[in-house]
């Protein structure tokens, strides 16, 4: 069987400027932050980012890597407004395809099912239709004759997701309460990269959780990366909660200062070490 393990930098080595990139998780929860940080260390730019947005979007926006964002929101959850996303929007730094949360989900389903669109009862009457003039409607072919929004498939070149456990073949297990949409992201993308808290033997999965916790299957995964604390500072329940103190620092520190202190070290290890030092200083 194929061993799909790689490093964060090897994942980024397979990505290119101009790609459409899906990022799993939701808000400031279980975001593949180690992979996002690896992306920030690269020269890759001009991305179309597809996400239920959190600090992944904020970081990439602050670094000027986004050409278009496809999202229903960007939030840090405990801090409702994502400061770098806001700042980027307020200077019109990237194009936005603003969709409703359900429209976004059905766009993922359509892509995963190789359909051009799926009909939804959402979007009609809202300004989502005004700001996305490319959106079309579709009429039910049945007796009701109702008109729905035809959400186009959110097909992606690559998806990045973070899970609690994975094996070397690309099977991924989530142990928290919510799968979010990570399996759909993987299935909706041409290539998918799973980072995980811990790489385990396949036989270990059954000890950690029931079969339905095996969220992502290897046939939809290209590469696997072990990145302990790799969702930091977002939450990765039950392995760890959100690092609220650090998130607050992120939200209140000028971008150049934050980048210089935490993202200029050249590796994920350097980032984790800089975070540890910061926490020690706070005590």
Query: Using the rule CB under 8 A, is 131 a contact of another protein?
Result: yes
| 282: Cβ contacts below 8 Å, ≥ 6 apart | 245
Q: Cβ 268 to another protein, closest distance in Å?
A: 27
Among 44, 85, 197, 223, binds another protein (CB under 8 A): 85
Q: Cβ 269 to another protein, closest distance in Å?
A: 31
Nearest to 120 by CA among 134, 132, 107: 107
Query: Using the rule CB under 8 A, is 210 a contact of another protein?
Result: no
Nearest to 12 by CA among 3, 25, 21, 2: 21
Spatial contact of 37 and 268, defined as CB atoms under 8 Å apart: yes
Rounded Cα distance, 81 and 74, in Å? 7
Q: How many CB atoms lie within 10 A of CB 77?
A: 17
* Count of residues interacting with another protein (CB under 8 A): 42
Tokens in use for 132?
A: 């996305």
Spell out, one character per residue from 156 to 195, where the chain touches another protein: x when CB under 8 A holds, - when not.
--------------------xxxxxx--------------
Burial class (CB in 10 A: 0-12, 13-18, 19+), 171: buried
- Please report, as residue ranges, which positions from 9 to 28 form the binding site for another protein (by CB under 8 A): 26
Nearer to another protein, 100 or 157 (CB): 100
Among 30, 54, 73, 239, binds another protein (CB under 8 A): 73
Nearer to another protein, 124 or 245 (CB): 124
Interacting residues toward another protein by CB under 8 A: 26, 53, 71-75, 80-81, 85-86, 89-92, 98-103, 105, 120-128, 130-131, 146-148, 176-181
């Amino acid at each position: 069987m194929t061993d799909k393990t790689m490093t964060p930098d090897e994942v980024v080595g397979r990505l290119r400027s101009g790609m459409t990139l899906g990022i799993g998780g939701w808000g400031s929860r279980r975001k593949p932050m180690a992979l996002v940080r690896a992306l920030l260390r690269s020269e890759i730019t001009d991305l179309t980012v597809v996400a239920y947005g959190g600090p992944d979007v904020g970081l990439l926006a602050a670094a000027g890597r986004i050409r278009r964002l496809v999202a229903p929101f960007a939030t840090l959850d405990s801090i409702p407004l994502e400061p770098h996303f806001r700042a980027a929007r307020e200077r019109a730094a990237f194009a936005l395809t603003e969709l409703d949360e359900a429209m976004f989900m059905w766009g993922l389903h359509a892509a995963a099912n190789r359909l051009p669109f799926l009909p939804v009862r959402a979007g009609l009457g809202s300004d989502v239709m005004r700001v996305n003039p490319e959106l079309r409607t579709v009429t039910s072919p049945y007796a009701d004759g109702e008109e729905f929004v035809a959400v186009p498939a959110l097909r992606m070149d690559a998806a990045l997701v973070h899970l609690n456990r994975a094996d070397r073949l690309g099977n991924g297990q989530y142990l928290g309460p919510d799968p979010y949409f990570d399996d759909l992201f993987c299935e909706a993308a041409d290539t998918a990269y799973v980072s995980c808290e811990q790489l385990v033997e396949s036989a270990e999965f059954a000890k950690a959780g029931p079969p339905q916790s095996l969220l992502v299957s290897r046939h939809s995964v290209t590469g696997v990366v072990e990145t302990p604390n790799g969702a930091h500072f977002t939450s990765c329940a039950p392995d760890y909660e959100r690092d609220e103190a650090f998130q607050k620092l992120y939200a209140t520190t000028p971008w150049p200062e934050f980048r210089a202190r935490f993202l200029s070290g050249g590796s994920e290890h350097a980032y984790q070490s800089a975070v540890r030092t910061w926490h020690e200083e706070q005590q």
